[in-house]
Amino acid sequence: MTQTITVIRGDGIGPEIMDATLGVLDTMNLGLQYEFADAGLVALEKHGELLPAATLDSIRKNRIALKSPLTTPVGEGFSSINVELRKRFDLYANVRPAKSFPNTKSRFPSGVDLITVRENTEGAYIGEGQQLSEDGETAVLTQKVTRRGSERIVRYAFELARRTGRKKVTVVHKANILKSTSGLFLKTARAVAAEYPDIECNEMIVDNTCMQLVMKPEQFDIIVTTNLFGDIISDLCAGLVGGLGLAPGANIGTDAAIFEAVHGSAPDIAGKGIANPCALLLGAAQMLDHLALPEQATRLRTAIVATLEAKDSLTPDLGGSGTTQSFAKAIAGRL
């Protein structure tokens, strides 16, 4: 197989964890070719814009991208690069696994194995119609939820359950209060769920979901929800398994997909060579699944778990004294 992927090395620790990740992928002899593209602060400095046309063209052509964390400057005139990428390529499904790993700082060392499927293109999170009154006393934004957007994200969740052998989908909502928007999402979800009698479906209000996740996370398999709720819940789930350093993410659309580490660019440790590459490596494993290479994805995940079990060259956030590169080489040595 020869597959060209767009590689965005990102900002802060991004280049360090990307170089480590590509080194591991090269060890696997997958036939991947890399086309490097800029985004974020490095793109602003080199090209005068956060998301150059050449980067968009590369993603459009290759249809697959692996992305390190990006920094969006604070201040007016700068919109989120991640939100813009989702919008440009209609990356409607944000897929965030949370799984317990050995020798990590987790309250649940063996009991969490769930996936949050988050609608990625609508709702309050995208910030449509934001307005601030002239006196600065009132702020307003528009929350739009569509039947089409709800239907396709719920269907994605059920198809994911079938594809991965998972047995239950939990629809998370706030329809008791947000009767129009969350109500439409829930009504649509019920209609889709009826088409999948082989998959158990239950419904849960979002605030109860957060409590249940903290108390009994093992009851969840796949969670599907709207954009803003999914943003919050997926980070909560990352906290259950040791933090964002172990949290990958996939942004899936019909014509393109972007895989990433969901943590930030961590400028405070950039250049020190101590960043944990696990999240991006796990994002790369999601990418291999998407490329119809499930055996290779499993092989990569198994090597990561084995390295964690052996406490081999773990980075400081995992309680070790290893470096980004030594940790990655320990993983590569198990492939």
> Does 135 qualify as catalytic in the annotation?
no
The active-site residue, picked from 38, 231, 289, 317, is: 231
Q: How many residues would you count in the chain?
A: 335
Q: Which helix (H) or strand (E) holds 320?
A: none
> Does 231 qualify as catalytic in the annotation?
yes
The active-site residue, picked from 125, 156, 289, 317, is: 125
The active-site residue, picked from 67, 99, 174, 329, is: 174
Three-state DSSP class for 121? Answer: coil
> Does 125 qualify as catalytic in the annotation?
yes
Burial bucket for residue 102 (CB in 10 Å: 0-12, 13-18, 19+): middle
**Separation of alpha carbons 187 and 175, rounded Å:** 9
Strands (E), 138-262: 139-140, 168-173, 200-205, 222-225, 248-252, 257-261
Tell me the chain's radius of gyration from C-alpha atoms.
Answer: 20
Q: Which of 261, 264, 181 is CA-nearest to residue 227?
A: 181
The active-site residue, picked from 19, 113, 221, 235, is: 235
The active-site residue, picked from 207, 216, 255, 272, is: 207
> Does 38 qualify as catalytic in the annotation?
no
Annotated active-site positions, please?
125, 174, 207, 231, 235
